[in-house]
């Protein structure tokens, strides 16, 4: 019954690596979102997409890019991972505000 | 000032106690979520509310749109309820704004 799937629960990557975080939803939702969670700062919006090939910067887009080639998949890309990108990453999708779902999160550690 | 304020930040209770966590927000919303995150774990959506009250097992969530306030109640709390509880609101735009979370510890 999983509706929003993030490809990994835990990831460890090296500084400078290119990192892809994948999020897939099976509900035909137009809107998808990427957040990161840090102690004391809570969850903050990195990027969102309101349709295929459409994207908007959130509050903290620096160091990230995204890709939405198909409606069901929204990828977060760290072009050159850095230690300050060690965080929990959360994907969400929605059709309307009353139909919104969250992934389980990906804990990324950059060493 | 944050758009979403939760209280308390930390809460310690004894097993069996009734728990209340509060969420206040300062903007018009379309809906509000309550989320749960266990230590080291992922985030699970407990409730999505746009009005009234919802109940799931020992968990009850209420919202008062006029007062811009929501509460999450846990009846007969149990150590397995120990987690961070997060309130999040959908505003008038695409953004979902999160509170900082409430760390609940239930001791046996």
pLDDT of residue B42: 78
pLDDT averages per 10-residue partition of chain A, 111 residues = 85 97 93 92 91 92 96 96 96 79 92 97
CA distance B40 to chain A (A): 9
Rounded distance between C-alpha atoms, residue B99 and residue B108, angstroms: 28
Instruction: State pLDDT tens for residues B35-69.
Output: 999 887 778 889 999 899 999 999 999 999 999 99
pLDDT of residue B64: 96
Q: Work out the mean pLDDT of chain B and round it to a whole number.
A: 92
Rounded distance between C-alpha atoms, residue A25 and residue A101, angstroms: 9
* Helix count and strand count (H, E) for chain A: 0, 11
Q: What count of CB pairs under 8 Å joins A to B? A: 56
Between A50, A98, A104, which is nearest B42 by CB?
A: A104
B101/A9 touch (CB, cutoff 8 Å), yes or no: no
CA distance A86 to chain B (A): 14
pLDDT of residue A78: 97
Instruction: State pLDDT tens for residues A29-45.
Output: 889 999 999 988 888 99
pLDDT of residue B84: 95
pLDDT of residue B44: 84
pLDDT of residue B52: 94
Chain A residues in contact with B3 by the CB 8 A cut-off are: none
| Omega before A73 within 30 of 0, i.e. cis | no
pLDDT of residue B1: 58
Between A50, A105, A107, which is nearest B94 by CB?
A: A50
Chain A residues in contact with B95 by the CB 8 A cut-off are: 45, 48, 58
What average pLDDT score do residues B14-28 get? Answer: 96
Between B45, B100, B101, which is nearest A102 by CB?
A: B45
Query: Coil, strand, or helix at residue A83?
Result: helix
Residue B87 has pLDDT above 90, yes or no: yes
Residue B19 has pLDDT above 90, yes or no: yes
- B86: contact with A, CB 8 A cutoff: yes
């Amino acid at each position: 019954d999983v509706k929003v799937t993030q490809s990994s629960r835990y990831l460890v990557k090296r500084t400078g690596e290119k990192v892809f975080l994948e999020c897939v939803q099976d509900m035909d939702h137009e809107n998808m979102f990427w957040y990161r969670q840090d102690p004391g700062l809570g969850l903050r919006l990195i990027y969102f997409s309101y349709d295929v090939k459409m994207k908007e910067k959130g509050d903290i887009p620096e160091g990230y890019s995204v890709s939405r080639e198909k409606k069901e998949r929204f990828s977060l890309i760290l072009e050159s991972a850095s230690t300050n990108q060690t965080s929990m990453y959360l994907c969400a999708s929605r059709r309307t505000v009353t139909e919104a779902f969250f992934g389980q999160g990906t804990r990324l550690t950059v060493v | 000032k944050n758009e979403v304020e939760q209280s308390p930040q930390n809460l310690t209770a004894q097993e069996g106690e009734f728990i209340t966590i509060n969420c206040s927000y300062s903007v018009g919303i379309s809906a509000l979520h309550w989320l749960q995150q266990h230590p080291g774990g992922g985030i699970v959506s407990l409730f999505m509310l746009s009005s009234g009250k919802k109940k799931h097992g020992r968990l009850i969530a209420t919202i008062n749109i006029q007062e811009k306030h929501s509460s999450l109640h846990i009846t007969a709390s149990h150590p397995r309820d120990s987690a961070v509880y997060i309130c999040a609101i959908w505003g008038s735009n695409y953004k979902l704004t999160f509170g900082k979370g409430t760390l609940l510890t239930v001791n046996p």
